[in-house]
Amino acid sequence: MIRIHRLPLDVQNRIAAGEVVERPASVVKELVENSVDAGASRIRIDLTAAGRRMIAIADDGTGMSPEDARLSLERFATSKISNSDDLFGVSTLGFRGEALAAISAVSRFTLITAERGATAGIRISVDGGTISDERPAPPSAGTVIEVRDLFFNTPARLKFMKSEPTELWRAAEAVTERALANPNIAFKLVNNSSALFDLPAAASLNDRIIDLFGGEFADSLKPVEYAGAGVSIRGVVSMREHHATRRQQYLFVNGRPVRNAAATQPVYRAMRGRIPDGRHPVFILFVEVPGDQVDVNVHPTKQEVRFARPDVVVQAMHRCFGGEFTSSAKADETDPFHKSYPSHYSHQTEQPAHVAETTTLFGASSGLLAEEFDTLPPARRFMRLGGPFIAFPEEGGITIVDFHAAHERVLYEKLMSRSPVSVPFLIPLTVELPRAAAGILAENLDLLAGFAMEAEPFGPHSFVVRAAPPELKREQTQALLNDLAGLLAGFTADADAGGGNGLRSEAAARIACHEAFRSGDAISDNDIEGLLSRLAPCERPDICPHGRPTTIRLSGKDLFRMFKRA
């Protein structure tokens, strides 16, 4: 019989580390937050191999005495709270007393710190949770922490690490979040002796945004502000940028970067009709509530919060994004539920007598009967339903086409054919990107070239694009490059090494989405007829690259059943 027993201390510490330390970015997050809490005005983050080999954080904060430095390496030792009541109304970022103990348990760890005015500091070395050396250090005010060989003693965790570009992206995002929340602090992030960004202390959030993302991105932002019922909201929303994922969505509650889907749903509602379906808005929002109305202790890494009155917060968000946002979002052809269908029809003066005699475009089963498609469909035999939908009758039923999804399929297969056409821009386009995104793209120029995009780095976070596929609109280029950077960052090391075709396929799907016809585009009847003719020979004409249907056929039986006449 197996008896219950206490786990050894080193096992306890490694379990705790598993909750707090997932990857290098987790270490960066925890240590930078400690520096912010210490009142630092400058924070420098140095990485080697994106933190896989070394992470060093140096600040000019208050520092610690030798006694506090030793205590900081023990679990549940903190200066931020004293009793259970202090857990509510916490105003500091770090308070659980786990970070340094957890990090030092799975790395080769060095802490160098000194208080201001002290005659000497202290240097403590920890090897896998065990103190291996302690000695005096020069009295330089502030703290320096070095973390080397992360997970050296927990090799099972190493296999969950992703490629260097991906880990660098995540570390950069961790710093970006803290830099947005603290524009008054100077941040410098360096990887392999190359600076990703060097941010001076900023006078405003807008200045910090410009330093991080560039002036072009800042120009796309609309400020929002609301205060009432004990909730205040301020921030910006991009009226132009959008992504395939939730990247560049920054939500801060009482200065803490968090995730809360319910709180951000009003943003999606306000942006409906302004960005394409299936895309995600870009925003930077700061929500302030009384400290006793939010529980920040519901997640080991403090990435989630629980509101005492979530309905009040959500209602405040709705009001913040009401008014000008909702009143100006009038119903038009971008709204698939717009009811003024007759104004969107492609009218005919009479029904063509040969409609029933033409070759059937779409079979009753999934997909087209491509080999039977010999000619374009008769002119204007379809009607526009609003949004991305068109419909046309065929013998025994009706077929509805999502022309955006259909165009995605056509473009995707063209891109995957490895013979895409490149058209040079008359005037080369300069695109500004976040520095981490620019760094990832700079390492993958061959991927862009394979899709007929000619681009090269131009400065720390800019690219010059000289040529692109003919379907790509000039104004969509920045959003596309941002999307591709996020895709590259998200691919695992295994996919980077052996799944190149998977990466190529995902990239082609992203590019096709940006290039495809959209609801608000001025699309002629000839455009649609040409699209249908190109869709027919595709290998998978029935679905878009993301798996959504391009067409839906309603047979006569379906119509009878829907009208309850079966």
Report if residue 462 sits inside a domain. Answer: yes
Same domain, 95 and 185: yes
Give the residue from 327, 352, 378 where a domain finishes: 327
Helix (H) or strand (E) run with residue 306 in it: strand 306-307
**Do 79 and 185 belong to one domain?**
yes
8 Å CB contact between 235 and 229: no
234 and 169 inside one domain: no
- Among the listed residues 363, 365, 371, the one whose alpha carbon sits nearest the alpha carbon of residue 538: 371
CB 401 within 8 A of CB 544: no
Would you call 418 exposed, middle or buried from its count of C-beta atoms within 10 A (0-12, 13-18, 19+)?
A: exposed
pLDDT value at 325 more than 70: no
Residue 246 belongs to domain with CATH number: 3.30.230.10
Residues 354 and 496 in one domain: no
> What average pLDDT does the segment 143-159 reach?
90
In a shared domain, residues 431 and 523: no
Strands 280-288 and 306-307: unpaired
pLDDT at 420 over 90: no
Task: Find the CATH number of the domain harbouring 427.
Answer: 3.30.1370.100
Q: 482-504 pLDDT, tens per residue? A: 888 878 776 643 444 334 567 78
- Pick 452 or 119 by higher pLDDT: 119
What range does the domain containing 277 cover? 220-327
Residue 395 or residue 341, greater confidence = 395
Residue 527's nearest CA partner among 346, 397, 355 is 346
Whether 225 and 300 share a structural domain: yes
Mean of per-residue pLDDT scores for the chain: 79
pLDDT recorded at residue 299? 60
Q: Are both 62 and 153 inside the same structural domain?
A: yes
Residue 3 is assigned to a structural domain of this protein: no
The residue among 8, 37, 178, 19 whose CA lies nearest residue 103 is 19
The structural domain count of the chain equals: 4
Q: Is the pLDDT of residue 7 over 90?
A: no
Same domain, 439 and 499: yes
Last residue of a domain, one of 304, 327, 350: 327
Same domain, 452 and 538: no
Domain with residue 139: its CATH number is 3.30.565.10
- The answer as to whether 543 is a domain residue is yes
Do 394 and 529 sit in the same domain of this protein? yes
What pLDDT does residue 58 have? 97
In a domain, 334, yes or no: no
Of the two residues 550 and 246, the one the predictor is more confident about is 550
Q: What is the pLDDT of residues 332-383, one digit of tens each?
A: 333 322 322 222 223 333 333 332 322 233 333 333 373 333 344 444 477 8
Res. 196: pLDDT tops 80: yes
